[in-house]
Structure 1
Amino acid sequence: MIRIPFTKMHGCGNDYIYVDTMSHPIADPVAAAIAWSDRHKGIGSDGLVLIGKSSIPEADFSMRIFNADGSEAMMCGNASRCIGKYLYERGLTNQEEIRLLTLSGVKTLQLHVSNGIVESVTVDMLEPVFNNEEQFIGSRATGKGTFVSMGNPHYVIFTDNVDQVGESGRVLENHPAFPQRCNIEFAHVEADGTIRTRVWERGSGITLACGTGACATAVAAALTGKAGRKSEIVMDGGTLTIEWCKSDNHVYMTGPAAFVFDGNIEI
């Protein structure tokens, strides 16, 4: 048996198990994600995140994300913020700007540090994409949603009933319009201008927050004239600030990251 150290972290309640694979490689991350994410028989999480060395000089570190069902995700905004906090506060870097290699490109993390503590992180999520035939077959879509890819596919539906997430999310995730399955957001613009959003994440089901989902929601709101280019996205687990910058067309996500506990698990 091998004992693997891990850290449980969350961003607005979106919780993952983090392993530093530079010190402790994981031979079968798919099996580990399924077993460890089980909230009754395992550690319990929305998935497993592997922190590693970058394979290219344009990035400092790498991130791989495996959902609770073992499927590999392209990107996770909440996890990227947590990695920034982990790397800085665990002494793996002293840089307050970190370039992170993901399956959807290199994301730049800007750490907001006070007295050695990372209080929040802003992530450059790059440009949104609206026509991705590998992820979305528009002619076969149903409903009145907006497709936005933030490196991973999202379908945002504005509605007065965001609580339909449990009823409709699973069905829409697997709709034929989405060849790679899809993350589904149900959103409502509140009287104060904030956007209440609930998320069905591809491979994980209902989660308390989704960083890429918050970005997709803010972009969809701006596209449809429901909001400006900067929004507060209020999810079950907390609030993220999203700005779709006009000058470079990039989406910037700012929010917190938090440690929960450290532990060891045998494999």
Structure 2
Amino acid sequence: MSRPFLKMNGLGNDFVVVEARSAPFQPTADEVRAIADRTSGIGCDQLIVLEPPEPGEGVDARVRFWNSDGEEISACGNGTRCVGWLLMQATGQDQAVIETKAGKLYASRAGERLVSVDMGRPGLDWRDIPLAREQDTRALDATLYPDASLATAPGCVSMGNPHVVFFVADIDAAPVNVAGPMVEHHPLFPEAVNVGFAQVIDRGRIRLKVWERGAGLTQACGTGACAALVAAARRDLTDRTAVLVLDGGELLIEWRDDDHVIMTGPAAVDFAGELP
């Protein structure tokens, strides 16, 4: 049977969003890769499936995410923002509650096609990331990639998925495409890791590129933007609120005093179709 989907994007980080609240959809890794293939499939960074919530839990939908390599993941910030916009459009409400493997996430309207998502508290213990051995996640005592531009100790943050953040003097000179895939699979990260390269412009602005685990270099990474702000603020490189400038556009990230990280940015629908 055919199944409707929407192609959506958040700052160019693109998704195939499949409706499965009335009929189950359990894609295999091969099927995910086929859908995500930009030559022979629809093409996307992540596949997102909307499932019915458990009754009585005050949740609008359960959401599952897969990277383009076929691996299921726990969290996707830009994808959650797109799903939140869809759910709010359907209900006419200004809030939506989304159940993910990383826990409940709360979306709210922030303007015309702008959505804020409470991404919860960051995981800062080495076991939260997780790392293979004990480390100070504020500044790792480990050489992950032998390059002078990455000599400053990186920080680690979990936003429901693992992130390592390098602070660089010049983002355009950083070896993103070479270091990204090598660090992604470094033995220190038993579940692999998303690799961020952050240039602090000033205390309220960070330029960021992210090599996503299982997806490669993308236009934007929502959880990566959250992780970069937290990692920078922990080292007093920025304030606890900053604009993250990604290749696809800008996100406003706030690490509130209650320890919750709030991400605000756009959601867009590209087109609709049906999966064969």
* Rounded Cα–Cα distance in structure 1 between residues aligned with 2:270 and 2:39: 18
**Aligned position for 2:75:** 75
**Aligned position for 1:233:** 244
Letter in 2 for 1:65: F
- SS of 1:184's partner is strand
**Aligned position for 2:149:** none
Confirm whether residue 48 of structure 1 aligns to residue 40 of structure 2: no
TM-score (norm 1): 0.91
- How much does 1:64 deviate? 0.3
**Aligned position for 2:11:** 12
CA contact (8 A) 1:12 1:239 kept: yes
Map residues 138-157 of structure 1 onto 2, 5 A cutoff. 138-139=134-135, 141-143=142-144, 144-157=153-166
Map residues 88-167 of structure 1 onto 2, 5 A cutoff. 88-89=88-89, 91=90, 93-112=91-110, 118-133=112-127, 135-137=130-132, 138-139=134-135, 141-143=142-144, 144-162=153-171, 163-167=174-178
- How much does 1:88 deviate? 2.6
* Rounded Cα–Cα distance in structure 2 between residues aligned with 1:207 and 1:41: 19
Give the aligned CA root-mean-square deviation in angstroms. Answer: 1.7
CA contact (8 A) 1:132 1:149 kept: no
Confirm whether residue 186 of structure 1 aligns to residue 197 of structure 2: yes
* Rounded Cα–Cα distance in structure 2 between residues aligned with 1:262 and 1:141: 46
Aligned-residue identity in percent: 41
TM-score (norm 2): 0.89
- SS of 1:62's partner is strand
Change (3 A) 1:193 1:69: same
* Rounded Cα–Cα distance in structure 2 between residues aligned with 1:59 and 1:87: 11
Change (3 A) 1:110 1:29: farther
- How much does 1:194 deviate? 1.4
- SS of 1:154's partner is strand
What do residues 2-41 of structure 1 show as CA deviations (whole Å, max 9, x unaligned)?
2121100000111010011013432324332210100111
- SS of 2:239's partner is coil
> Structure 2 stretches of 5 or more lacking a match?
136-140, 145-152
Aligned residue pairs, count = 258
Letter in 2 for 1:207: T
- SS of 1:190's partner is strand
- How much does 1:126 deviate? 0.8
- How much does 1:191 deviate? 4.9
Confirm whether residue 62 of structure 1 aligns to residue 62 of structure 2: yes
* Rounded Cα–Cα distance in structure 1 between residues aligned with 2:88 and 2:65: 20
What do residues 115-174 of structure 1 show as CA deviations (whole Å, max 9, x unaligned)?
xxx521111111111114261134574351101001111000101243421110000000
- How much does 1:262 deviate? 0.5
> Structure 1 stretches of 5 or more lacking a match?
none
**Aligned position for 1:263:** 273
